[in-house]
Amino acid sequence: MTDIKSLDFAQLKDWAVSLGEKPFRAKQLYDWMHVRLAESYGQMSDLPLSLRERLERDFPLLTLTAVKKQVSALDGTRKYLFALPDGNLVESVWMQYRHGNSVCISSQAGCRMGCAFCASTLDGLARDLMPSEMLEQIYAIQRDTKERVDNVVVMGTGEPLDNYENLLVFLRMLTDEHGLHISQRSVTVSTCGLVPQICALAKEKLQITLALSLHAATDEKRCALMPVAKRYSIRELMDACRIYHKETGRRITFEYSLIGGVNDSGEDAALLSILARNTGSHVNLIPVNPVKERPFVRSDRERIEAFKNKLEKTGINVTIRREMGRDIDGACGQLRHGHLNSEQRGERGR
């Protein structure tokens, strides 16, 4: 069955014509789905009733069900746990910053990358998300908050470049003039470092920001934290970053989660600084979020500051990730993992 919310504008036109409809119906339908964010065909008042009924019967409109919503009393951050039509779960986060509203979405249900500090990977990969399921996380949040989403970060559960084709369709539909038309520069995709896909993405010449989860400056340390490092060396990764920068003109952001006693020494900072300088990258430091199932602890405040200062002294542009929603389930994937766990224990509907 065709998932019509995953068809881009041109595909939807072809599809409508193949059903014997006029192309302008596709424009109306696309507008209802991707601009006015209709939740049902019933709302699409300028489409003939017969067409609406046919669509309802043959092409049910994908929607997500919010299973859980947590609102931070500290800063208004909202965390959503959404059920997909097949019962799989994904989580998304809404954050308000001075420069606008950001939504963090998931690209897969679960993850198979196996990073040692991450909760999203604890239950493995269930499946890839369709473009519609990535878009709908943003749409559902915009409906709930009644506020426009300004920035989108693909940093929730999943490895976006492990769902490459669907990600690309999603990025086009999110940023082109037919849909929400979010500027490409307001979209960030975060990857653990799949080198062939980074090189392929570079050729698309999108103006999005690519964030690379580095977390260590030597192959040995990176291998201990991230299984993907056994596939691609830091040298190969840095070559991919240079290609990305050359093709798109966009600088890469290195994400670096500081883990106490593991990757937060002066020597780590010095090595990271060389990598950032050689590729013209920014560094975003993330104090690691403790995950119950994992032994890692966050570096203390002074150590984080010292690490930042050391990088800055060598001319690197550094930010420390501001923590949002500290009072609601912290790290990526914890809401979903907690829910799956409670279901296993038979504590439904907590």
Catalytic residues: 91, 332
285 half-sphere exposure, CB direction, 13 A CA radius: 29
Instruction: Kindly state the smallest distance separating residue 154's Cβ from ligand SAH, in Å.
Output: 7
| Contact status: 198 vs ligand SAH (CB under 6 A) | no
Residue 129 CB, nearest approach to ligand SAH (Å): 13
Give the list of residues 6+ apart from residue 87 with CB closer than 8 angstroms, or none.
Answer: none
Q: Which of 30, 117, 244, 254 binds ligand SAH (CB under 6 A)?
A: 117
Q: Which residue from 92, 186, 188, 191 is in contact with ligand SAH, where contact means CB under 6 A?
A: 191
> In Å, what is the CA distance from 345 to each residue of 198, 327, 339?
40, 24, 10
Span interacting with ligand SAH, options 24-32, 126-134, 175-183, 186-194, rule CB under 6 A:
186-194
Identify which of residues 213 and 273 has a Cβ nearer to ligand SAH in the complex.
Answer: 213
CA–CA separation, 338 and 166 (whole Å):
27
Our finding on whether 192 is near ligand SAH (CB under 6 A) is: yes
Give the pair of three-digit tokens for residue 87. Answer: 């019962």
Per CB under 6 A, the list member of 134, 241, 252, 331 interacting with ligand SAH is 331
Q: How far is the CB of 330 from ligand SAH (least distance, A)?
A: 8
Minimum gap (Å) between residue 279 Cβ and ligand SAH: 16
Which residue from 115, 129, 275, 304 is in contact with ligand SAH, where contact means CB under 6 A? Answer: 115
Cβ proximity to ligand SAH, 198 vs 332, nearer residue: 332
Residue 20, Cβ density class (10 Å: 0-12 exposed, 13-18 middle, ≥19 buried):
exposed
- Distance, CA of 217 to CA of 271 (rounded, Å): 6
Whichever of 35 and 297 has its CB closer to ligand SAH, that residue is: 297
**Residue type present at position 340:** L
Q: Which of 186, 213, 253, 279 binds ligand SAH (CB under 6 A)?
A: 213
**Residues in 16-75 at the binding interface with ligand SAH, rule: CB under 6 A:** none
CB-nearer residue toward ligand SAH: 136 or 162? 162
Separation between Cα atoms, residue 346 and residue 121, nearest integer Å: 22
Q: Is residue 286 involved in binding ligand SAH (CB under 6 A)?
A: yes
Residue 332 is a binding residue for ligand SAH (CB under 6 A): yes
Verify binding: residue 182, ligand SAH, rule CB under 6 A: no
- Give whichever of 120 and 186 is closer to ligand SAH, judged by the CB atom: 120
Helix 195-204 × helix 164-175 angle, to 10°: 30
Beta carbon nearer to ligand SAH, 44 or 225: 225
Site string for ligand SAH, 253-282 (x = CB under 6 A): --x-x-------------------------
Alpha carbon 99 to its chain's center: 19
Q: What is the dihedral of CA 293, 294, 295, 300, to 10 degrees?
A: -110
Decide if residue 93 touches ligand SAH (CB under 6 A).
no
Residues that bind ligand SAH (CB under 6 A): 113, 115, 117-118, 155, 159, 190-192, 213, 255, 257, 286, 288-289, 291, 331-332
